[in-house]
């Protein structure tokens, strides 16, 4: 089996495994939580995206991995991780918290989509070995990150139950 085929199988199965796990264990829990706590849980996961800076470390990734790809991946992840941390730090300041929730999810989702575009453009599957120790990131970590971005947007956009509005003090008095 060619390295390209192995990489593509790994990538697809990474999404399949996380979707199965997420749908069974994580999504029901997130849906049962109130919105701020669910978003805080997602932000906690994304706060570790500083780890993407590993793509800049010589010896961790191969010398033939294009620097333009590695730098874009590294700094996009770093930005998303910092925005997620800012969301966590501003949890009690709700307008700021919501701003950072939207910001890290937009930045993170766009980062992953653009990373996929760059990966296709440089034919990353053909040079998957150049990922070195970072190989596990796109195979194991990125699928979970992308899934949680979609879930975060879903949770942000779904209608909130009227009972929750009443508790928030936004419901009209009767």
Whether the Cβ atoms of residue 87 and residue 104 lie closer than 8 Å to each other: yes
Distance of CA 22 to the CA centre of its chain: 13
Q: How confident is the model at residue 164, as a pLDDT?
A: 54
Whether the Cβ atoms of residue 114 and residue 76 lie closer than 8 Å to each other: yes
Q: How confident is the model at residue 161, as a pLDDT?
A: 67
Q: How confident is the model at residue 46, as a pLDDT?
A: 98
Q: How confident is the model at residue 162, as a pLDDT?
A: 62
Q: Which residues of the chain have pLDDT under 50?
A: 165, 169-174
Taking CA 98 as the corner, what is the angle to CA 79 and CA 84, rounded to the nearest 5 degrees?
25
* pTM (2 d.p.): 0.88
DSSP 109-144: HHHHHHHHHHHHHTTGGGGGGGGGGGGHIIIIIHHH
Q: How confident is the model at residue 158, as a pLDDT?
A: 87
Q: CB-hemisphere CA count at 13 Å for 15?
A: 8
């Amino acid at each position: 089996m060619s390295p390209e085929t192995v990489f593509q199988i790994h990538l697809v199965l990474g999404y399949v495994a996380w979707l199965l796990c997420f749908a069974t264990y994580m999504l029901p829990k997130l849906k049962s939580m109130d919105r701020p706590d669910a978003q805080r849980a997602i932000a906690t996961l994304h706060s570790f995206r500083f780890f993407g800076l590993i793509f800049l470390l010589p010896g961790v990734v191969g010398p033939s991995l294009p620097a333009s790809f590695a730098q874009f991946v590294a700094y996009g992840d770093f930005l998303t991780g910092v925005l997620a941390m800012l969301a966590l730090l501003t949890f009690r300041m709700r307008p700021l918290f919501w701003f950072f929730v939207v910001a890290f999810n937009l930045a993170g989702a766009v980062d992953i989509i653009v990373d996929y575009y760059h990966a296709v453009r440089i034919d990353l599957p053909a040079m998957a070995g150049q990922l070195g120790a970072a190989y596990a990131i796109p195979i194991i970590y990125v699928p979970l990150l992308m899934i949680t971005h979609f879930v975060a947007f879903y949770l942000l956009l779904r209608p909130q139950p009227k009972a929750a509005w009443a508790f928030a003090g936004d419901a009209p008095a009767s």
